[in-house]
Chains A and B, each alone.
Chain A
């Protein structure tokens, strides 16, 4: 019996702002979630069945709405369960070129994120990752986000998509000079 995907064109993810965790579904097209995040015609993205929790008690649902709008620039990061959901179409096209992964540590307000970034070839400076990579959001794979004030509260995903504007510190190992931005 083949595996049955539960959603068609719908992606379920956890969206994090400074203080809230919002779990919901978002309709995505061929360009995946990056298409929605990079859509300049709207500063909001619409979620279906959004369940809201506070960060200090992230399993407790404090609100539920069938439809909600999330301001994209206020999203710190998005936790995705499946790696392929976090790979941009551009990356997909170039996946046969040699890719290196680097362990990274990244902080956004109230969270620290650990995982790996994947780049083609060697990177000389981390700023090149942040500045040159396309779009406002970039993926960290095999990643975990921990709340700074509640270190026991962790969120793992095969991919976490991070808002570049939210990044405070970005560190990597294995890069020349172990740069800190």
Chain B
């Protein structure tokens, strides 16, 4: 148990197993005379009986002391942010009155190796070389005071590695995977190892002919398929760092070794992330071919696939926007939405630009609104898997996009978040 602020007296009353509590009060110093926040961000971890599947939960709760004169219409909206290896996102709690208790919680379940992820499970002292993959944040937005409170952890997130989208490695062929390393200021060597579950067949090697290699910086890996996977996605590349004789997993990706009958799109990667006015996010993506250059992908296509609340698999529905967005018979987005894709896979060097915007806003009065959507990129090739659409990026999980409308400090604002990027604009 760790308490960052001794003023948080209620923290020890929380009976969480392996709980880290971060308690704050008076975070909004300039507003202290009006509202004094008493909020807690709690991080809890549980694991299943095998010790390999764990769930981490971040919770933000508490209340604010409110001075006389604060309008009764003031509302506080909490949100809890949690990512493990970049997977996860933000969960919003219900808006409540200024002095009322807020509550927001976000959980992410992860599979990990009990042996090498011990610090992750046990909450060991990071000074001994423990590398957490967990980013958390709890936040409370006040309609009058704006960002009333924000607190969390990412201080142990020393090194990260993320992998581009290569879901399939051709049998007797090869595919590239970009391992992007960040925050490795000391060039700590990182070991990449290809592995699979012993009870499942399939094998692959790196370009050096081995199942292990070391990198310290962003590297374009070559992976060759040597034995077809008996189960899709069974091959793993696990990245570990070793500090003080202690090995910790800092990232992983999975793929399938398969007969592809031709070149397929691989190495799908984000090349840019930019805020664009007004309140839009713009991302660039490119990809490569597993063989023969991009021109070999003439029978392949790439598309985005975005779903909104209410999506039913296999059904082409519509998501109708609700106030404060413009409403009406034409104010809908296809659900799922493939935007202006598919595009030709031969365009990989040119890639695509993905702009996440909004449908526009109606007239005041505005209301609070939060819409999550889920994005993945997929490919299809006529000669592979009967032309089925295969998830290309991310290779597992999804990309969460959230659109939020909140009244901050008396101003109605629209915020959009995706892949760690956030942009906010005022409503007209």
Question: Are A and B subunits of one complex?
Answer: no
